[in-house]
Chain A
Amino acid sequence: MIKKLLYSLIFFTINTPLFASEGSTELLNYWYMVLPFVALLLMIATGPLFYHHFWEKHYPKIAIAMGVITVTFYIVVLHDTVSLMHTLAEYLSFIALLASLFVASGGILIKVDKKATPMLNVLILIFGSIIANVIGTTGASMLLIRPFIKINKDRIKPYHIVFFIFSVSNIGGALTPIGDPPLFLGFLRGVEFFWVIQHVWYIWAPTLIVLMSIFYVLDSMNKSGNDAEKDYSGKIEFKGLKNIGFLAIIIISVFIDPNVQSWVPSLAPLPFGIRELIMFSIVYLSYKYADKEALRANEFDFEPIREVAYLFAGLFATMIPALQLIAIEAHEYGEELNAGLFYWSTGSLSAFLDNAPTYLNFLSAEMGKFGMDVTNKTAVHEFQMLHPLYLSAISVGAVFFGAMSYIGNAPNFMVKSISERAGINMPSFFGYMIKYSIPILIPIFVIVWYVFYYGQG
């Protein structure tokens, strides 16, 4: 198993010169064009840890510069503007959804005046995991992390935040394309909206139950704050409720796509549609008309979404050659790969790299194995019908393993940042993994693999 996994990882990450392209064999001669992608991913992983202030100041320039290298290559050497326009359209859809969810949920304040108990905490985490599928892991994290900290003010420990990241910011959002960015990218590529919930809920539910049971035991042992004598009104108050309306519009607009609803006009050749226009308008309106008190209490800051926008601009551009090369080469080496290996490969990389591009790479690889092209929406639709086990493996791998490190998924960093601003000393990058994610999540993920993917596909 380990040998196969290593083979798979090496195959997808290091051995890039092997990659070839049927459609554009010319790309084979330029295998090194995946290097800007690899370099950017490495810098995203190491920048915030080892050269924090330099990275904080220069990451926009670095991300854009890496993207420009690839874009220039496609225009000047390959004369391929179609791939670039396709990627630009996908990026605009992606960032429109994330930005609108981020800004709209940032203007909502929830105040809960209840005594913290392990059971109440479990209920909040389960509630967050469910609504993550409606307003995204980003939206749910933004909405609930502050009330969660506030309720536990007298007994808060880093594990509270870590389990919040595990459930609400990652695993919870595995049921719909709105839940987590990788699944939204899959939806944009042609995976049906309700396909994920139909094929993942029976993995999602037991995983969450196990996770919540561990949390409950841990939290029951935390006796801090028990002696604080306080009166609790039990009230739950909301501020900025009009932003709930904006959130509803965002969710509805996800379906306003000419490929989903025939009445929706296409704005082609523009690289965006009505859906993106609505979402970007929500960014503006939900900020302009937000309850200022709610923004202030949430310490709203555009910096987290600005960071995601710049980094993903670079990632989307630099990953074009990687996607194209992997898809074709997997066709040749596909026999070696089964659903279990795709689960571990997607998961292992999603733990450290952004899980959205990782998912796309492996979707491309899986489809390549069966001689299908990820850039063709009809082919993606056909793939989900014919090989659901494979699609489920990368969907679960990309979403679940995003919880393995702070850099696995965009909300992880946002939650860490909000917690630190609340004065909580969060574990370091490696502390998070050694103390929490490896001992708690890896055994759970092994069980998921054994039960659902081992020996299948």
Chain B
Amino acid sequence: MSKIEDVLKTDKKGLHYGNRLILPFPIDILKVNIKNDIITDFSTSDVGAEYIVRDDYTEIYFHDYKSLMETVAKYAVIKMVVVEKGTDIFDQGNHKILSIDILDKHIVDIKEIHDDQIFIE
């Protein structure tokens, strides 16, 4: 099972196809920001977003958008607050804020949010 820390260290990339985002680690997602939408409700499978945690990866479907490539502007990113699967979700120290950059050829660049960017949990 890949850990977020290892993926960030090795600069392993994620994937995107249409409105589907695939991150190479299993996580629980607490909050997502895409364009102007802040999504915290993952309970339905037709609006907003839903995610499915697999053993080695997590897939997220953004129902309100057809294509992530067309939705996220060149200098914009998707931001999310996540918790590594298997860690204590109630310990805020385990919460990580990731920035997801949608690139060409279905590639996704994953980074921990850097100092200049802002995302309030």
- Minimum distance in angstroms from B46 CB to a CB of chain A: 13
- Minimum distance in angstroms from B117 CB to a CB of chain A: 6
Inter-chain contact B120/A424, CB cutoff 8 Å = yes
Total cross-chain contacts (CB, 8 A): 60
- Minimum distance in angstroms from A54 CB to a CB of chain B: 11
B38 on interface, CB distance cutoff 8 Å: yes
Which of B20-28, B53-61, B72-80 is found at the contact surface with chain A?
A: B72-80
**Given A303-B73, A420-B38, are A149 and B118 neighbors across the interface (CB < 8 Å)?**
yes
- Minimum distance in angstroms from B83 CB to a CB of chain A: 16
Whole-angstrom CA separation of A423 from B81 in the bound complex: 10
A26 on interface, CB distance cutoff 8 Å: no
- Minimum distance in angstroms from B77 CB to a CB of chain A: 7
A280-320 vs B, CB cutoff 8 Å, 1 = contact: the mask equals: 00000000000011011111111100000000000000000
Determine the residue in chain A with the shortest Cβ distance to B115.
A111
B75-109 vs A, CB cutoff 8 Å, 1 = contact: the mask equals: 11101010000000000000000000000000000
Which residues of the other chain, A, contact B73 by a CB distance below 8 angstroms? 299-303
A425 on interface, CB distance cutoff 8 Å: yes
Determine the residue in chain B with the shortest Cβ distance to A57.
B66
Whole-angstrom CA separation of A417 from B34 in the bound complex: 11
Interface residues in A21-48 by Cβ distance below 8 A to B read none
Inter-chain contact B64/A423, CB cutoff 8 Å = no
Contact residue among B33, B64, B117 (Cβ-Cβ distance under 8 Å from A297): B117
Inter-chain contact B76/A301, CB cutoff 8 Å = yes
A381 on interface, CB distance cutoff 8 Å: no
Inter-chain contact A153/B120, CB cutoff 8 Å = yes
Inter-chain contact B79/A423, CB cutoff 8 Å = yes
Determine the residue in chain A with the shortest Cβ distance to B47.
A53
Which residues of the other chain, A, contact B33 by a CB distance below 8 angstroms? 420-423
Whole-angstrom CA separation of A420 from B40 in the bound complex: 13
Q: How large is the interface on B (under 10, 10 to 19, 20 to 34, 35 or more residues)?
A: 20 to 34
Inter-chain contact B118/A422, CB cutoff 8 Å = yes
Determine the residue in chain B with the shortest Cβ distance to A52.
B64
Whole-angstrom CA separation of A367 from B74 in the bound complex: 46
B36 on interface, CB distance cutoff 8 Å: yes
Whole-angstrom CA separation of A425 from B36 in the bound complex: 10
Whole-angstrom CA separation of A301 from B38 in the bound complex: 17
Inter-chain contact A153/B118, CB cutoff 8 Å = yes
Inter-chain contact B120/A422, CB cutoff 8 Å = yes
Whole-angstrom CA separation of A153 from B36 in the bound complex: 19
**Given A301-B75, A423-B31, A423-B79, are A146 and B36 neighbors across the interface (CB < 8 Å)?**
no
Which residues of the other chain, B, contact A416 by a CB distance below 8 angstroms? 36
B121 on interface, CB distance cutoff 8 Å: yes
With most chain A CB atoms within 10 A of its CB, the pick from B33, B36, B38, B64 is B36
Contact residue among A53, A156, A292, A422 (Cβ-Cβ distance under 8 Å from B64): A53
Whole-angstrom CA separation of A423 from B36 in the bound complex: 9
Whole-angstrom CA separation of A146 from B115 in the bound complex: 12
Which residues of the other chain, B, contact A420 by a CB distance below 8 angstroms? 33, 36-38
Which residues of the other chain, A, contact B76 by a CB distance below 8 angstroms? 299-301, 421
**Given A109-B116, A424-B120, are A417 and B36 neighbors across the interface (CB < 8 Å)?**
yes
B17 on interface, CB distance cutoff 8 Å: no
Determine the residue in chain A with the shortest Cβ distance to B72.
A301
Interface residues in A136-154 by Cβ distance below 8 A to B read 146, 149-150, 153
Inter-chain contact A421/B120, CB cutoff 8 Å = no
- Minimum distance in angstroms from A456 CB to a CB of chain B: 43
Which residues of the other chain, A, contact B116 by a CB distance below 8 angstroms? 109, 111, 293, 296-297
For the complex with contacts A149-B118, A299-B117, A300-B74, 12 further pairs of A-B residues with Cβ separation under 8 Å are: A109-B116, A153-B118, A292-B75, A300-B73, A301-B73, A301-B74, A420-B36, A420-B38, A421-B33, A421-B35, A423-B81, A423-B118
6 chain-A/chain-B pairs, Cβ below 8 angstroms:
A300-B75, A416-B36, A421-B36, A423-B31, A423-B120, A425-B38
Interface residues of B (CB under 8 A from A): 31, 33, 35-38, 64, 73-77, 79, 81, 114, 116-121
